[in-house]
Structure 1
Amino acid sequence: MITRFQEYITKQNLCKKTDRILLTVSGGADSVVMLDLFHNTGYNTAIAHCNFHLRGTESDKDEQFVRELGKKYGVDVFVKHFDTKEYAALNNVSIQVAARDLRYAWFEELRQKKGFDVIAMGHHTDDQIETFFINLFRGSGLAGLKGMPIKRDHIIRPLLFAGREDIEVYAKKHNISFRDDSSNKEEKYLRNKIRHRLAPVLSDLTDNYPDAVIDSLNNLREADTLLQLLLHEKFDGITRQKDDTLALSKAEFRKLQPADVWSYYLLRRFGFNRSTSDNVADAVVRGQSGKLFYSETHQLLVDRDELLIKPLQKNDKAEYRIDDGQQEITEPVHLIFQTVTVDDDFSINAASSLAQLDKDRLVFPLKLRKWQSGDKIKPLGMSGSKLLSDYFIDNKMSLFAKSDIWLLLSEKDIVWIIGHSISDDYKITSKTREVLAVRLM
């Protein structure tokens, strides 16, 4: 098995001998055998162990066992204690989901903090098959049915070539002790029902179980890889990127049939589920505009001619102070400030990225904030004030563009809609002696 282990790592390009590898060790047979295999093949490793405090003293005994493993193999052991039940209650998720979220977040935090190259997890082929059936019963698509990835980001699964029986045989042959998790016998969990009820039946029904299922999973994984390549090619052909916003042509989108299927596969990378992607497709087909849709990470606007997709932003209600003499700020927007004396060489620049303001009329400190409902400005060249909401409509600004607007204020007066218009009250006149030039970078 040691030879197969090394060959699998090499073939799948999981890690190098020079890498620092963080092994996630629960104390069960799979993770302890993984530790032994990495040790016997000469890799540089350390152990990460989670104590979820879900099984009373049994959890603490698991932790102690793993600490002893660290001494036996001469590697560092990192342990994290979690109040899993509290996390589950606060986030309205199941205990299983809570434990998964907590451990993955901590593993990545530990990897970055301690400088590990990869995180190795002890999943094997039986875990893979169980995951397949869990996702099958949930109605998952191709992405769910293909199973756990062998490698994704910094996570590797070097035991996906072996089954549970292979691991237990190796442990017995090499006198490797491990801990039995009593919760694995509880059939209240779907995974355990599949393991204890369904798998034995499938094994009795056919001689080629589980190999045939693994072959099917590999075929599904290959099909999904090809699908993703084709989707990326199509996506790149009908989109354009501007700053943090991705624009997808509605005209090109309408050519894609069936619309709901294309919508789902194009938008799911941004976290949009089937229901939302169907609604997006329906809005495009019906010629509707102005509709906003949200995923956990992105927002999508069905605009006049395009679908606009951008990451969700925090609702920034803060005000930022700008003192007289300050030369630059980089957050929340990048601005350069320069005081200029008006002389014969001075000229007015009408670029939208530059505000030239009569400095004598400004009251410092200036303020920088997002626009708010009810805000007004006297746009340059106008005699009366106008609501910013009306200004945005007149300039045909999308909801996304409006959400990005920042304002420069002197006391309560808006002196510049940054990147757009200055206030007529603060323009340069024949009486202006000094100009505050503010450039948007």
Structure 2
Amino acid sequence: MELNLRNFQSNLPKTDFQNLPKILVAVSGGIDSMVLVDLFLQTGLPFSMAHANFQLREKDSDEDEEFVREFAQQHGISIFVKRFDVKSYKSSGNYSTQMAARNLRYDWFEELKVEHHFDWICTAHHLNDSLETFLINLSRGTGLDGLVGISSNTEHILRPLHNFSKESILNYAKSNSIQWREDASNSTTDYTRNKIRHEIFPKLIEIHPEFLQNFQRSIEHLSDQNLILKYHFQSVSNDLFKSKDEQIFISIERLKDLHPLSTYLFHLFQPFGLEHPFEIQKLMDSNENGEIQSKTHRLIKNRQELILVKKGEHDFPNEIELDQDQILEKPLYLRFSKTKEKPFDSAESLDLDKVEFPLRLRRQKTGDSFFPIGMKGSKKISKFFKDEKLSKLEKESTWLLVDKEDRILYVVGKRLDDRFKITENTHNFLNIYLC
């Protein structure tokens, strides 16, 4: 496809010129981004520029920055420039130079978007870039998401050159006398992407002159099929994932009816950072309850179901000292009152004269036991939880009210301790209110 203003504009979302979007264009100074800037100038849409100086090519990097700054000044375009220490970032994790630069660049773009309320971030990725990404991901054993190359648009990132070849960009640059900076590192084969660009791509064109155009059609077909699959997996997720009280419950039996199971497990749980289906299947098949975690979520087996919960929902100190004259709101609503008679509206009441202050709220500890009201003798808290058929999460969110002597007064919301119950001889009441 020929690159011209009309074809370029057809790749931009429709805009209401009464309410123009705020656009940030990523500009390296190379031919692709300088052509992108020229096309935006021709549209008449207002935009800003962002230039990332990765300081990897010493003097050349600084000259790229100066070139972009001068261009912005000549055309009255606002510009953001930031210098990055890529080498230090690489040492902080297992990143290649290109991946480190990519992460730093996009994180910065996102910061600019939020701070300056940009609607679009535009990059100059083109069809050849998409082919290179396809081949790199193919060599790594990717799924469909990796094979569709570089998407034309995401939620707020636009790539309006995505269906134009490098050759068409070069032709446009020559026809319109575009000035740009050459990156000498692009001519080397030190990076995987450059090896594909200089060694593999020419062979593919030699085998079939229309290879790039055919690749574009294949990508469009793969993208359409991938979209259909995403709708299907979302439909299955909506059917199986049942939300209640900020938790998601999934029947293991119904999950096992899905085939191929590992593929379904990957696509259903990947949005929660759980990307290893065999770990999930092992959890499902285990004879015991257990859990696996991602950075953001916990997946817990409880009998015949899985419970998915976001991390942080139950992150509270293991012990909280209580002020009997104040209201506790988290991790649960709790307040006390002291009366000479038992009020009708309290959740529970204890014999105040039997309690040693201060009171504390704490989680279960190994060996905890109490004397459940209505029963003779003591009972382990662990056994009580088991008899109550509490899930792992329910156990974690069940608190024990204890006194100064660490005696359990109340398994909150479930059972009082018989030693502190009110009797006909009770004259002072400690009343507990829950919500």
Shorter-chain TM-score bucket reads 0.7 to 0.9
Q: Specify the alignment match of 1:278 in structure 2.
A: 278
What pairs with 1:384-395 in structure 2 (closer than 5 Å)?
A: 386-395=379-388
Letter in 2 for 1:395: E
- Within a 5 Å distance, the mapping from 1:10-409 to structure 2 comes to 10=13, 18-273=20-275, 276-281=276-281, 284=284, 286=285, 288-313=287-312, 317=317, 322-327=322-327, 329=329, 331=330, 333-335=331-333, 337=335, 339=337, 341=339, 343=341, 346-347=343-344, 361=355, 363-364=357-358, 367=360, 371-373=364-366, 379-381=372-374, 386-406=379-399
Give the TM-score taking structure 1 as reference length: 0.85
Higher mean displacement: 409-418 or 252-261: 409-418
Residue identity matched to 1:4: N
Deviations 1:273-294 (A, max 9, x none): 3xx312433554x563424223
Deviations 1:89-146 (A, max 9, x none): 1223222222222222222122112211222222111111111111111111111101
SS where residue 47 of structure 1 aligns? strand
- Which 5+ residue runs of structure 1 have no aligned equivalent? none
Structure 1 CA distance for aligned equivalents of residues 160 and 117 of structure 2: 20
Q: Distance between the aligned counterparts of 2:352 and 2:178, measured in 1?
A: 78
Aligned AA (2:12): I
Cα 1:417–1:165 change in 2 (3 A) is farther
Give the AA of the match of 2:337.
T
Q: What's the Cα RMSD here?
A: 3.2
Q: 1:389 to 1:99 in 2, by over 3 A?
A: farther
For structure 2, the residue ranges without an aligned partner over 5 or more in a row are none
Q: Which amino acid in structure 1 is aligned with residue 281 of structure 2?
A: A
Cα offset, 1:74, TM superposition: 2.1
Provide closer, same or farther for how the CA distance between residues 318 and 252 of structure 1 changes in structure 2, counting only shifts above 3 A. Answer: closer
Q: Output the amino acid matched with 1:83.
A: D
Partner Cα separation in structure 2 for residue 248 and residue 347 of structure 1: 40
CA shift for structure 1 position 208 = 1.3
Residues 45-89 of structure 1, C-alpha deviations (whole Å, 9 max, x = no match): 222222222222222222222222332332322223322222221
User: Residue by residue, what CA displacement relative to the aligned partner does 1:144-163 show, whole Å, maximum 9, x if unpaired?
Assistant: 10122222222222221222
CA distance in 2, matches of 1:69, 1:362: 76
Measure how far apart 1:402 and its partner are: 3.3
Q: Is the 8 A contact 1:340 1:437 kept in 2?
A: no
- In the TM superposition, what whole-angstrom CA distance separates every residue of 1:323-369 from its partner, at most 9, and x where no partner exists? 4443353x5x352536364547x2265xxxx56566674635x6555
Moved more, 401-410 or 302-311: 401-410
Whole-Å separation in 2 of the counterparts to 1:369 and 1:397 = 17
Distance in 2 separating the partners of 1:380 and 1:70? 78
For the pair 1:437 / 2:432, whether they are aligned, the reply is yes
Q: Could you tell me the percent identity over the aligned residues? A: 34
Give the 3 Å change call, closer, same or farther, for CA 177–311 of structure 1 in structure 2.
Answer: same
- Which moved further from structure 2: 428-437 or 78-87? 428-437
SS across alignment from 2:77: coil
Question: CA 1:81 to 1:206, structure 2 compared with 1: closer, same or farther past 3 Å?
Answer: same
Change (3 A) 1:316 1:435: closer
In the TM superposition, residue 422 of structure 1 has moved relative to its aligned partner by 5.0
Query: Which is higher, the Rg of structure 1 or of structure 2?
Result: 2
1:388 positional shift: 4.1
Cα 1:257–1:347 change in 2 (3 A) is same
Distance 2:35 2:282 in 1: 52
CA distance in 1, matches of 2:166, 2:205: 14
SS in 2 for 1:4: helix
* Cα shift readout 1:212-244 (whole Å, capped 9, x = no counterpart): 001101100000100111111122222211233
Query: Which residue identity is paired with 1:94?
Result: S
Q: Secondary structure at the match of 2:92?
A: helix
